Amino acid sequence: MLRAVDVIQHKRDGHELSREEIAFFIDGYTRGAIPDYQASALTMATFFKGMTRAETVALTEAMMNSGQVLDLSELAGPKADKHSTGGVGDKTSLVLAPLVAACGVYVPMISGRGLGHTGGTLDKLEAIPGFRVGLSLPEFRDVLRRSHLGLIGQTPEIAPADRKLYALRDVTASVESLALISASIMSKKMAEGIDALILDVKTGDGAFMQAYDDSLALAETMVAIGRGMGKKVSALITDMDQPLGRACGNALETIECIEILRGAGPDDTRELSIELGAWMLHLSGSPHGLPAARARIREALASGAGLEKFREVIALQGGDPLILKLLQLLIGLGDAVEVFQNFR
Amino acid sequence: MLRAVDVIQHKRDGHELSREEIAFFIDGYTRGAIPDYQASALTMATFFKGMTRAETVALTEAMMNSGQVLDLSELAGPKADKHSTGGVGDKTSLVLAPLVAACGVYVPMISGRGLGHTGGTLDKLEAIPGFRVGLSLPEFRDVLRRSHLGLIGQTPEIAPADRKLYALRDVTASVESLALISASIMSKKMAEGIDALILDVKTGDGAFMQAYDDSLALAETMVAIGRGMGKKVSALITDMDQPLGRACGNALETIECIEILRGAGPDDTRELSIELGAWMLHLSGSPHGLPAARARIREALASGAGLEKFREVIALQGGDPLILKLLQLLIGLGDAVEVFQNFR
């Protein structure tokens, strides 16, 4: 019979844990049968000993299976998402998600809050007056079916083991483990029911991984996990030596995204959003390769289809569509801020 | 302000913890202000990173100070004890403690139970019909004053932090840490109010430390802790490739000790008991060095003073003195077993 203390000792002594050991531990921990003090010993041992690719995949799967895994097979067509490891001014999600959805790929985006010094997509969404980030999973599915796009926050049903384990790692100094970071991110993304995922791994002064080699290792690990689970996954390692775009702050960043979708806005945010969006199309099977995918995204931007998609999802998720109409009438950023402030 | 998570991270990252950090953590853990899951993360980090001598001394002192520290200064004369890391058939305590006490050194012996495959002095004492190992600390002090000898088990008042931490390490695979093992042993011994301590560190197939180098490292660490706390401490590294003496089992081992105190019994147990007892006298300031101390112990054995001291402490701690009288009348081991069984 498996015992938690033996699993800890195996890891401590540098052995590779079996799928059964990992599933036993994560399941027991999620149910409360294995206490926090054994989980923190295991995460600290993992900090020192690392995990093999096979272990990391098994951990990701165990955490994913601790909760609901969305089955979106009723939606005909590819489903894709993007994950960024986070940076300052990183706001590409709100640009690329409408663009990709406008190209016919489903984007079931479940986002997190800001972490440390970095912002979170969820926080930016909440800057949109009335926007409901807390849809139930059935509501989320319905919005997705109607608009190809849904934007919500983490729910308790998705990967509860990760939620519990992350909170524990945070107070036991075992956050900075490549295997644990990778499995944490991927367990939530793989629960979204997607076929394809593009990873934006930041590197530089404003990123969590400041050294290029660390960013590369994180990217490789996450790609290996995703592919090990049968998904189309690639990663771009992108610069975070300076903030992305011009705006920092949730309302200001949301406005910057709308500016880009209107055909304006800063080049760096726009180009990175286009590149990541193109990869999402490409990984989703868009014909004629990446250059053609880039062209499709640019067309969705130029035609205003992306902005219209964003307006559509805001309306479906309870936001006031008046805000978009007003923004289309406005020309300057200062005035846009004023409109936002009047709504809040 | 100190935070538990920062202390864990310092240790994880290989920094030397300050006395303040260690005292803060152990005090908080003892009071329940620092939870088990942070303590297990720290012990696992310590397993990997070890502790410097200064840290190990600070940990020992913090654990010692988590409970009562006996003050035996009212008893004029030296106080000494022995600790063994445990082996099979290791029963020297019941021989040497009466011999050393008969030579005029106070022996306030607080013993533990068997651990793993090894026996414990406490278990053997309980094989003596009526013997009370659970004296209160005032009763213990009184017995000591009257007979120079007291033999009790661990009490909740002594080093409660160690009790709590050891139970945690046991279920989180962080037992096998040189620093933690050493501090655990020494925190309890240093709380006994002794001036001198001889350590019997076992090595070989039947010991916890099977490799000589590991035994040596443990001995050196414990000696350094004790000396760092201003006590006279030495260690003998002794063979545990085969059981000590002829008897294994609590009642049988107690009988073997009485046989030795009667002047018979197996050579190996007798000679090791004499050597350890002689070191206790020597460290306690017995004049003319170790050879003279050996001679004093041999004299206490030959004269029957040791057996008489054992009889005395058994009487003082509630045991039936009839058992000793009967044993003195008996000649064979088989009959002695029968007498014991009748009493139980």
Q: Which residue has the higher pLDDT, A296 or B248?
A: A296
Residue A317 pLDDT exceeds 50: yes
Helical spans, DSSP H, in B50-191? 53-64, 93-102, 121-125, 137-147, 160-171, 178-190
Residue B159 pLDDT exceeds 90: yes
Q: Which amino acid is at B334?
A: G
CA-based nearest residue in chain B for residue A11: B173
Helix A4-12 × helix A36-49 angle, to 10°: 20
Question: Which residues on neighbouring strands pair with residue A244, listed in sequence order?
Answer: none
Q: Which residue has the higher pLDDT, B301 or B336?
A: B301
Residues A261-315 have pLDDT tens digits of 988 899 999 999 999 999 999 999 999 999 999 999 999 999 989 988 998 999 8
Tell if the CB–CB gap between B171 and A38 is shorter than 8 Å: yes
> Residue A41 is nearest to which of B6, B12, B172, comparing CB atoms?
B172
Residues A109-161 have pLDDT tens digits of 999 887 778 878 999 999 888 899 999 999 999 999 999 999 999 888 999 99
User: Which residues on chain A are in Cβ contact (under 8 Å) with B177?
Assistant: none
Tell if the CB–CB gap between B12 and A36 is shorter than 8 Å: no
Chain A residues within 8 Å of chain B (Cβ atoms): 4-6, 8-9, 12, 35-41, 43-45, 47-48, 168, 170-174
Number of H helices and E strands in chain B, helices first, is 16, 5
User: Which residues on chain B are in Cβ contact (under 8 Å) with A12?
Assistant: 44, 47, 173-174
Residues B294-310 have pLDDT tens digits of 999 999 999 989 988 99
> Residue B40 is nearest to which of A41, A48, A170, comparing CB atoms?
A41
DSSP B208: S
Which residues of B are known catalytic residues? 83, 162, 169, 184, 188
Residues A58, B165: Cα–Cα separation, whole Å: 31
Work out the percent of chain A whose per-residue pLDDT is above 90.
77
Interface test with B, best of A3, A12, A21, A37 (most B CBs within 10 A): A37
Tell if the CB–CB gap between B45 and A173 is shorter than 8 Å: yes
Question: Which residues on neighbouring strands pair with residue A107, listed in sequence order?
Answer: A149
CA-based nearest residue in chain A for residue B177: A12
Residue A83: phi and psi, rounded to 5, are -130, 135
User: Which residues on chain A are in Cβ contact (under 8 Å) with B47?
Assistant: 12
Tell if the CB–CB gap between A41 and B39 is shorter than 8 Å: no
Q: Which residue has the higher pLDDT, A320 or B147?
A: B147
> Residue A36 is nearest to which of B4, B36, B171, comparing CB atoms?
B36
Q: What is the ipTM of this complex?
A: 0.85
Residues A57, A185: Cα–Cα separation, whole Å: 12
Residue B114 to chain A, least CA–CA distance (Å): 21
Residues A183-239 have pLDDT tens digits of 999 999 999 999 999 999 999 998 888 999 999 999 999 999 999 999 999 999 999
Q: Which residue has the higher pLDDT, A86 or A5?
A: A5
CA-based nearest residue in chain A for residue B10: A173
pLDDT value, residue A129: 87
Tell if the CB–CB gap between A44 and B44 is shorter than 8 Å: yes
> Residue A171 is nearest to which of B5, B47, B170, comparing CB atoms?
B5
User: Which residues on chain B are in Cβ contact (under 8 Å) with A29?
Assistant: none
Tell if the CB–CB gap between A8 and B38 is shorter than 8 Å: no
Residues B149, A325: Cα–Cα separation, whole Å: 92
The catalytic position among A49, A82, A83, A202 is A83
pTM score:
0.88
Residue A140: phi and psi, rounded to 5, are -60, -45
Residues A227, A57: Cα–Cα separation, whole Å: 9
Tokens 């801020």 belong to which residue?
A337
User: Which residues on chain A are in Cβ contact (under 8 Å) with B169?
Assistant: none
Tokens 């592919």 belong to which residue?
A227
User: Which residues on chain B are in Cβ contact (under 8 Å) with A5?
Assistant: 170-173
Helix/strand/coil for B107? strand
pLDDT value, residue A328: 56
Residue A25 to chain B, least CA–CA distance (Å): 13
> Residue A45 is nearest to which of B39, B44, B170, comparing CB atoms?
B44
Tell if the CB–CB gap between A174 and B41 is shorter than 8 Å: yes
User: Which residues on chain B are in Cβ contact (under 8 Å) with A6?
Assistant: 173
Band (pLDDT 50/70/90 cuts) for residue A326 is: low
